[in-house]
Amino acid sequence: MTVLDEIIAGVREDLEARRAEISLEELAKKVASVSPTRDALAALRGAGVATVEIIAEVKRASPSKGALAEIPEPARLAHEYEAGGAAAISVLTESRRFQGRLADLDAVRAEVSIPLLRKDFVIDPYMIWEARAHGADLVLLIAAILDDEQLREYLELTHRLGMNAIVEAHTEEEVDRAVATGAKIIGINTRNLKTLETDPAHFATLADRIPEGRLIVAESGVTGPEVVADYAAAGADVVLVGEALVRTEDPREAVSEFRNHGRRARAARLESIEEERA
């Protein structure tokens, strides 16, 4: 059994416990009363082709590193992210390996005005309804744990609820599957979820498989602004950053620094492309 298999087993068990407490019908009623979704696609596109946006993550722990930060007040951390210029906030809600909770999503939603990503291992439509009921504007759909029919079904439900989805891939085959769904936002995770090994250079080997017009999100492996710059130079439109932000003493300044490094690298990439075309 892989690490991913173990995580999914726990997610499934916790999901059934929540479903026993709150029915889908009750969730649907709650969805009808929550505030409208934010336009996450527009937020992640930023001000134009020269921008690289940051999704800043509220993340207490990970399977590979264990405890990262206590984060007693996720809303305060999210506020600092927003003040630093983050385009969206990612909130981990998986409890066993990441020490997340849906209550964190509620707290962050009450504090910030930018879009929220519910970061979890979505294995059932119930979790998409759940995300919207707690104020999420984005969900993560992981190709490694969903077949083609599920990807399309879950993506359609996400759109029906007014949300967007990041369809995440790690291999060439998964990238091609993500593209085939018509997903507007495709994430390349440089961490192999089955082994937890991370290789930031893996991003560049896959980014060119994604057609123009789709937003490309680089995920995992960010240890500092230079990695954000590398991702931007290789074609990332957006970079998701977790550990490097929750460990820093000044998350507001860190987000700003990451954005600036990404933009400079993106500008250099665009200049190089123009020179090649001339």
Mean pLDDT of 4-18: 97
Catalytic residue among 119, 192, 243, 257: 119
**What is the residue whose two structure tokens read 């710059």?**
229
pLDDT digits (tens, 9 = 90+) for 127-172: 999 999 999 999 999 999 999 999 999 999 999 999 999 999 999 9
Q: Which domains does the chain have, with CATH numbers?
A: 1-275 (3.20.20.70)
Catalytic residue among 62, 90, 189, 192: 189
pLDDT digits (tens, 9 = 90+) for 214-227: 999 999 999 999 99
User: Catalytic site residue 184?
Assistant: no
User: Catalytic site residue 189?
Assistant: yes
User: Catalytic site residue 30?
Assistant: no
pLDDT digits (tens, 9 = 90+) for 68-89: 999 999 999 999 999 999 999 9
C-alpha separations of 269 from 45, 77, 117, 231 in Å: 17, 32, 28, 11
pLDDT digits (tens, 9 = 90+) for 28-78: 999 999 999 999 999 999 876 778 999 999 999 999 999 999 999 999 999
**Averaged pLDDT of the chain:** 96
Catalytic residue among 57, 80, 94, 257: 57
pTM of the model: 0.96
User: Catalytic site residue 29?
Assistant: no
Catalytic residue among 80, 168, 174, 257: 168
pLDDT digits (tens, 9 = 90+) for 229-259: 999 999 999 999 999 999 999 999 999 999 9
Contact 31, 132 (CB under 8 A): yes
